[in-house]
């Protein structure tokens, strides 16, 4: 059984669109952090010598016009509107994307001094008032990276704890993704679980522009310590490893449900009143809002996607030779999911619903080995390839100081509680 799972390992990570393969995972998260995480600075006076200088920040909205965006930024400046609408030098404005943050510095009467935003290219674009009108500056290499740290304890939910610790959502989500083969963050969290993270923040001219990836993390779940360190053996080819150099990747994710602020807070109280336990109905139920994304827990081929009796809309994925996973009661299938489709671990196969026999929106998940239902929580999943011997020194040089920081954070936090 273990050998069959292991046979699947060399394949995964190649085409995963989302999930545990660290390289693609990070691509995905980089997109998210840019889309969602650049809203931080509050309006403040920017120049101590000029009490009339103000900074405002706003997110680009779908269908935004220059005038609407500038109005939200409290820019009252026809010259600026005309420039941004009309200038041929201004094709960079096409790089503004919905969800991105734009910052305007104005005088008290709304005259634009400077407009700054992060373009889709990753460049910082600055439109600056000069003596002869506005200039457009494009800035590539000005982001400074700085490690930040945070630690906390679970009292109600992961997001409540990361909020209390001052961590951004992108870091909370990454934390769950990094340990997604070790911990089911929808079901396994316990009051008193603890975490500590070291993560990147990118600054531009001192201002926080975006958050990067987690460099090291510790998650203590039900007394079990899980640790992860980011390591890039060659540029662009990185992953998360234990301090001993074992990869955190596994053939299967613990949870088939996308982890998000919304899905993580959904109550498990109100469905399958009779068939609550795995032994009673041979699967695991995940209560989640209708529309929450469902992902395949391992690489495979869709053996069935359609309607099937009490299961309602169901996707069945065949993994290697002996494994099948079932995702039932879906409200809809993900685009491109049909019988015969190839899927990679973490790919979305559908959306939570209550089709078939279901008393509320939830995902019914089954894991079969050789046609027999198994409790996936009880399976020991084989490990992926560890750090090779010739990379070991480099890995240790990177990992040991990070792990030391995690320990320091936990002990400082515990000392405060005493
Ligand atoms: Zn069920």
Model pLDDT for residues 253-278, shown as the tens digit of each residue = 999 998 888 777 665 544 444 444 44
Residue 143, both tokens: 């982001």
Reported as a single tens digit per residue, the pLDDT across 48-80 is: 444 457 888 888 888 888 888 899 999 999 988
The length of the chain, given as a count of residues: 418
What pLDDT does 33 receive?
31
Q: Report yes or no: 98 and 131 within 8 Å, Cβ to Cβ.
A: no
What pLDDT does 85 receive?
80
Strands 50-59 and 101-107, by their bridges, are antiparallel
Question: Among 23-37, 51-65, 213-227, 365-379, which range has the highest average pLDDT?
Answer: 213-227
DSSP state for residue 73 in the 8-state scheme:
T
- 247 vs 26, which has greater pLDDT? 247
What pLDDT does 280 receive?
54
Question: Residues 282, 285, 290, 296: is their CA dihedral positive or negative?
Answer: negative
Residue 313, both tokens: 């809309």
Percent of the chain with pLDDT over 90: 39
Cα angle: 301, vertex 362, 223; to 5 degrees? 90
- 17 vs 318, which has greater pLDDT? 318
What pLDDT does 383 receive?
67
- 29 vs 379, which has greater pLDDT? 379
**Sequence-ordered strand ranges (E) for 154-236:** 194-204, 207-221, 224-234
Backbone phi and psi for residue 14, each to the nearest 5 degrees, phi listed first: -75, -45
Reported as a single tens digit per residue, the pLDDT across 229-247 is: 999 877 778 899 999 999 9
Please provide the average confidence, as pLDDT, over all residues in the chain. Answer: 79
Alpha-helix residue ranges (DSSP H) falling in 124-235:
158-164, 169-178
Mean pLDDT in residue range 337-351 = 96
DSSP state for residue 26 in the 8-state scheme:
H
- 376 vs 34, which has greater pLDDT? 376
**Sequence-ordered strand ranges (E) for 289-415:** 293-295, 300-307, 313-319, 323-330, 332-333, 342-343, 348-351, 362-369, 372-374
CA distance 106 to 112: 4
Mean pLDDT in residue range 294-321 = 95
CA distance 47 to 54: 8
Cα–ligand 1 centroid distance for 29 (angstroms): 31
What pLDDT does 44 receive?
40
Q: Report yes or no: 120 and 126 within 8 Å, Cβ to Cβ.
A: no
Q: Which residues surround ligand 1, an ion (CB under 5 A)?
A: 283, 285, 364
Cα–ligand 1 centroid distance for 86 (angstroms): 58
Cα–ligand 1 centroid distance for 256 (angstroms): 13
Q: Report yes or no: 345 and 297 within 8 Å, Cβ to Cβ.
A: yes
316 pairs with which residues across the strands? Answer: 304, 326
What pLDDT does 122 receive?
61
What pLDDT does 120 receive?
59
- 413 vs 36, which has greater pLDDT? 413
Instruction: Compute CA distances 185 → 123, 220, 279, 295, 367, whole Å.
Output: 35, 12, 21, 14, 18
What pLDDT does 100 receive?
72
Cα–ligand 1 centroid distance for 357 (angstroms): 9
Cα–ligand 1 centroid distance for 298 (angstroms): 20
Cα–ligand 1 centroid distance for 185 (angstroms): 18
CA distance 318 to 297: 11
Mean pLDDT in residue range 392-405 = 91
Cα–ligand 1 centroid distance for 328 (angstroms): 8
124 alpha carbon, distance to own chain's centre: 23
DSSP state for residue 247 in the 8-state scheme:
B
CA distance 203 to 205: 6
What pLDDT does 38 receive?
35
Reported as a single tens digit per residue, the pLDDT across 318-334 is: 998 889 999 999 999 99
Q: Report yes or no: 405 and 227 within 8 Å, Cβ to Cβ.
A: no
Q: Report yes or no: 382 and 364 within 8 Å, Cβ to Cβ.
A: no
Mean pLDDT in residue range 140-169 = 88
pLDDT of 1 above 50: no
The model's confidence at residue 284, banded by pLDDT at 50, 70 and 90, is: confident
Reported as a single tens digit per residue, the pLDDT across 159-187 is: 999 999 999 999 999 999 999 999 989 88
What pLDDT does 255 receive?
92
The model's confidence at residue 11, banded by pLDDT at 50, 70 and 90, is: very low
């Amino acid at each position: 059984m273990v050998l069959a799972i292991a046979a699947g390992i060399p394949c995964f990570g190649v085409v995963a669109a989302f999930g545990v393969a660290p390289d693609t995972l990070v691509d995905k998260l980089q997109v998210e952090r840019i889309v969602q995480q650049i809203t931080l600075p509050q309006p403040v006076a920017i120049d101590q010598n000029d009490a009339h200088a103000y900074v405002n920040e706003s997110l680009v909205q779908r269908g935004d016009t220059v005038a609407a965006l500038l109005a939200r930024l409290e820019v009252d400046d026809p010259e600026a509107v005309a420039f941004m609408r009309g200038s041929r030098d201004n094709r960079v404005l096409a790089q503004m994307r919905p969800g991105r943050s734009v910052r305007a510095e104005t005088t008290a009467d709304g005259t634009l001094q400077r407009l700054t935003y992060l373009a889709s290219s990753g460049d910082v674009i600055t439109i600056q008032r000069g003596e002869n009108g506005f200039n457009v500056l494009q800035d590539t290499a000005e982001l400074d990276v700085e490690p930040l740290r945070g630690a906390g304890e679970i009292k109600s939910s992961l997001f409540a704890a990361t909020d209390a610790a001052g961590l951004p959502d992108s870091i909370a989500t990454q934390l769950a993704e990094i340990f997604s083969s070790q911990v089911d963050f929808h079901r396994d969290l316990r009051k008193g679980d603890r975490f500590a993270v070291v993560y990147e923040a990118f600054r531009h001219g001192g201002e926080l522009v975006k958050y990067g990836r987690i460099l090291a993390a510790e998650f203590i779940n039900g007394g079990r310590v899980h640790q992860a360190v980011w390591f890039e053996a060659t540029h662009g080819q990185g992953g998360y490893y234990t301090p001993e150099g074992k990869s955190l990747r596994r053939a299967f994710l613990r949870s088939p449900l996308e982890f998000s602020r919304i899905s993580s807070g959904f109550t498990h109280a109100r469905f399958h009143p009779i068939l609550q336990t795995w032994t009673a109905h041979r699967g695991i139920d995940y209560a989640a809002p209708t529309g929450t994304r469902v992902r395949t827990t391992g690489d495979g081929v869709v053996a069935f996607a359609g309607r099937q009796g009490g299961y309602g809309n169901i996707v069945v994925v065949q993994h290697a030779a002996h494994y099948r996973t079932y995702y039932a009661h879906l409200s809809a299938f993900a685009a491109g999911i049909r019988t015969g489709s190839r899927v990679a671990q973490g790919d979305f196969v559908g959306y939570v619903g209550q089709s078939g026999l279901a008393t509320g929106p939830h995902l019914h998940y089954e894991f079969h080995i050789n046609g027999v239902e198994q409790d996936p929580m009880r399976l020991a999943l084989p490990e992926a390839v560890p750090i090779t011997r010739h990379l070991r020194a480099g890995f240790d040089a990177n990992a040991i100081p990070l792990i030391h920081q995690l320990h320091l954070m936990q002990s400082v936090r515990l000392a405060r509680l005493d």
